[in-house]
Amino acid sequence: MATIDKYFKISSADNGQWLGNGEITFISDESGVDQIWKTKIGDEPVQLTFLKERIWKHMVAPNGKDIFFTMDSGGNEQEQIYMLKHGETEAINLTNNDKARYSFGGVKPDGKTIVYASTERNPANYDICQMDITTGKREIIIENNDNYNIPAELSPDGRYLLYNKLKGYSNNYLWMVNTETKEAEKIDLSGEFAQYTNPRWTSDSKGFYLITDVNAEFKYVAYYDIVLKELRKVYEENWDVEDIALSYNDKYLAMEINRDGYSVIEILNINTLRLENIPKPPRGVISYYGLNWSKTDNRLLFSLSSGNRPMDIWMLDMDNDKIERITSREMEGICPDDLIEPTLHRYISFDGLEVPFWYYKTNKGDGKTPVIIDIHGGPEGQERPTFNPLTQYLISQGFSIIGPNVRGSSGYGKRYTHLDDIEKRLDSVKDIESLVNHLIGKGLAQRDKIAVMGASYGGYMTLSSLTEYPDLWAAGVDTVGMSNLETFLENTAEYRRVHRESEYGSLEHHRDILREVSPMHKVHRITAPLMVIHGANDPRVPVSEAEQIVSSLKNRNVPVEYLRYDNEGHGLAKRENQLDCYPKVVKFLKKHLGVKDN
């Protein structure tokens, strides 16, 4: 039987980009941390960067040769912008100021001017800026004193930058600034609570396609004409359109649609406004980094994963009517047939709401299967059937895994996403109680063999489940979770605070609610053994959130194990730390759920 390190050594390939010579660059953790690689279709990949820290995202410059990327230090998320010149082996740190955070926006056609957002002037706000990379001269285009500004898309002529003002995860106004005159305007003046994301310019820079849910329950595709200042609907379904990409000749609009958790690619012919008949990839989930067309022909890159399929780069070739996998992950001796794809189920919660969940059923054991309820982060996130090495290893050891999408999850419409806002926070925890009762009633779980775990907001949900319903659990694992929403909002990175308050409630108006829904104020109810995992450099959920809950449990002699990683941030990105942490997690769960080693 494969050991846990084999599962974590299965690497991923993501964020595929086209070089001008037809080669492909992508990000992979093959070396143990995310780095940039390149390949020519049919050839073995070659590693391009050899850095010690995780590369977040990269982009090929308009010349098709140079590469820009962002990287932080030790998980602190103070991302800096780097440039890897064609033919060079050492990247240049263009921003080189670890006291500020940068968000890359693009490169102008002159090849020497980059646009980006920066917290240099004020750590609480992002200004929109540009830099001449040949001289290092920096200039603020838009000084920002509200919200969280993130660059979205630079027009092909380099004149206009689209950027989002984030009031909340699902409330992000889209603005456009002329980088030459510094005049900015808001796109769509409806004023409704809505999302405006993933803009994609036409080649003439006269308009762009985007995704929005304004006046709708689900996200759809629209087009905005910058001269007429009109927004018109182009394509919609009763599911969310999650990403789009426009081909080099403006003929094809690729759309990634989230249909009940799985991704589906549809190609809309802009000339006919009809869907093309295309070969389909295997069933799975397309990466957050999405879709990328070639700059010279109709070939589309995307990254795909499923429960039993590690993430690889795939290509849809419209001109030759074919689809193929570009990268191929080494399975480290693990038989693909031993990996489990989940099945989708639903149950009725306490108030009649239908709640979906994914069920990974183990083939091991004697029928008395221990169950782990693994709750996603967000809260405006979604549990989807993607490859997770810890999940698959736990299944191989005799655990069944349940991944619920309780109220507040995304993917099921605007109303569903906001059913847990502020004073309704604990309704999502009631969904977990209803889930446990459903699993027991259906014979899918035994009352004394159920654990709860989760990361980030899933960590908060883990702690809340342990405090609100202490009798349900044999154990819990909290990774980078919030134990006290009040101190979390006080201590999270300044630029994040306002848009997180829109979900949880504000320090100014909702302190009583924040205290009421915080596990830290009910820690005396925790009786189940708990493991807490946190990165010391976490800017989102400060490590103090872990240490206050650990200290309190130790003072009460409740069994608690604490794993702190001094070179990590919001989660574990380095394989060396994963291979230290997760065997301990498995050992902990086996001990408290009564599972013997195979």
Structural domain contains residue 428: yes
Output the pLDDT for position 281. 94
Question: Is position 443 within any domain?
Answer: yes
Longest dimension (CA), the chain: 71
Report the distance separating Cα 109 and Cα 162, nearest Å.
16
Domain range for 567 is: 340-593
**415-471 pLDDT per residue, tens:** 999 998 888 989 999 999 999 999 999 999 999 999 999 999 999 999 999 999 999
Q: Is the pLDDT of residue 266 over 90?
A: yes
The pLDDT, as a whole number, for residue 447 is 92
Residue pair 79/62 in contact (Cβ under 8 Å)? The answer is no
Token representation of residue 27: 């990000």
pLDDT recorded at residue 331: 84
Instruction: Decide if 377 is inside a domain.
Output: yes
Which pLDDT band, with edges at 50, 70 and 90, does 317 fall under? Answer: very high
Tens of pLDDT along 325-358?
A: 999 888 888 988 899 999 999 999 999 999 999 9
Rounded distance between C-alpha atoms, residue 111 and residue 458, angstroms:
42
Q: Which residue has the tokens 């694992």?
A: 477
Under the banding of pLDDT at 50, 70 and 90, the label for residue 147 is low
| pLDDT given at position 460 | 96
- Angle 575-593/389-396 helices, nearest 10 degrees? 40
In this predicted structure, which of 49-63, 162-176, 287-301, 538-552 has the lowest mean pLDDT? 162-176
Give pLDDT tens digits for 426-439: 999 999 999 999 99
Query: Is 128 domain-assigned?
Result: no
User: For position 356, which CATH number holds?
Assistant: 3.40.50.1820
With a cut of 90, say whether residue 220 has pLDDT above it: yes
Residue 197 maps to a domain: no
E strands, 119-215, in order: 127-132, 137-142, 148-154, 160-168, 171-178, 184-186, 196-201, 207-212
DSSP 521: G
3-state secondary structure of 330: coil
pLDDT tens digits along 529-582: 999 999 999 989 999 999 999 999 999 999 999 999 999 999 998 999 999 999
Q: Could you tell me if 504 and 41 are in contact, meaning their C-beta atoms sit under 8 angstroms apart?
A: no
Q: What 3-state DSSP class applies to 274?
A: strand
pLDDT tens digits, residue range 72-127? 999 998 999 999 999 888 999 999 999 999 999 999 999 999 999 999 998 888 99
Tally of domains within the chain? 1
Q: Is residue 589 part of a domain?
A: yes
Asked if the model's pLDDT at residue 366 lies above 90, the reply is no
pLDDT at residue 188, rounded to an integer: 82
Helix axes 427-441, 457-468, angle to 10 degrees: 70
Strands 560-565, 530-535: pairing kind: parallel
Per the domain annotation, does 436 fall within a domain?
A: yes
pLDDT of residue 574: 92
In this structure, how many other beta carbons lie within 10 angstroms of the beta carbon of residue 308? 18
CA atoms within 13 A on the CB side of 51: 25
> Which CA distances in Å does 423 have to 342, 418, 489, 504?
33, 11, 16, 8
DSSP states along 383-428:
------HHHHHHHHTT-EEEEE--TT-SSS-HHHHTTTSGGGTTHH
Residue 156 has pLDDT above 70, yes or no: yes
- Termini Cα distance of the chain: 9
pLDDT of 150? 87
Matching residue, tokens 């320090």: 507
**For the chain, what is the mean pLDDT?**
93
Q: Indicate the residue type of 550.
A: V
Angle at the Cα of 341 (from 35 to 56), degrees rounded to 5?
20
Model confidence at 222, in pLDDT bands (50, 70, 90)? very high
Residue 598 pLDDT more than 70? no
454 falls within a domain: yes
Q: CA angle, 165 as apex, 159 and 171 as ends, to 5°?
A: 130
- CA-to-CA dists, residue 141 to 83, 156, 161, 222, 379, angstroms: 22, 18, 10, 27, 33
Q: Does the reported pTM lie above 0.85?
A: yes
**Residue 341's closest CA among 267, 403, 251?**
403
DSSP state of 510: -
Question: Residue 385 above 90 pLDDT?
Answer: yes
Radius of gyration of the chain (CA): 24
Distance separating alpha carbons of residues 315 and 302, to the nearest angstrom: 6
Strand partners, 404: 357
The pLDDT value given to residue 168: 64
Cα 548 to Cα 273, 378, 456, 537, distances in angstroms: 56, 22, 16, 16
